[in-house]
Amino acid sequence: MRRLITVLAGGALAMALGASAAGAQDIKQDTRDIRQDRRDIRSDTRDIRADRRDVARDRRELQQDVKTGDTQAAKGERADLRRDRRDLRQDLRERRTDRRDLRQDRRDRRRDLRDRR
């Protein structure tokens, strides 16, 4: 009987130590994920700024082409403007997704820290 209690106590101790080690690894991974999400958000923000500049430039060029009566150039500018707007929408969606991932990774890390105690 005494041996059974010792084995069970040893098993419980091993599980507790293993759980804390796994928790530390989870926290480390969550921290890495948070850093990567922040990098992704910064990159998406840079892309969004560039896309907005492209859209503004295309609008100016389109207005100039319409003013001068150059229909072929205006047609090309409209197509370019559509592409740039599509890129802008895509980058906005990616940034929204990255922000959602960042919030989730922060929640995961808080939960792992709480569970570790």
More confident residue, 72 or 21: 72
Question: Tens digits of per-residue pLDDT, 67-103?
Answer: 999 999 999 999 999 999 999 999 999 999 999 999 9
Q: How far apart are CA 26 and CA 18, in angstroms?
A: 12
Rounded average pLDDT over 103-109: 92
How far apart, in whole angstroms, are the C-alpha atoms of residue 17 and residue 12? 9
pLDDT at residue 27, rounded to an integer = 83
pLDDT reported for residue 56: 97
Quote the pLDDT of residue 17.
Answer: 47
Q: What is the percent of the chain with per-residue pLDDT over 70, rounded to a whole number?
A: 80
Mean pLDDT over the full length of the chain: 86
| The predicted structure's pLDDT at residue 5 | 59
Q: How far apart are CA 108 and CA 26, in angstroms?
A: 9
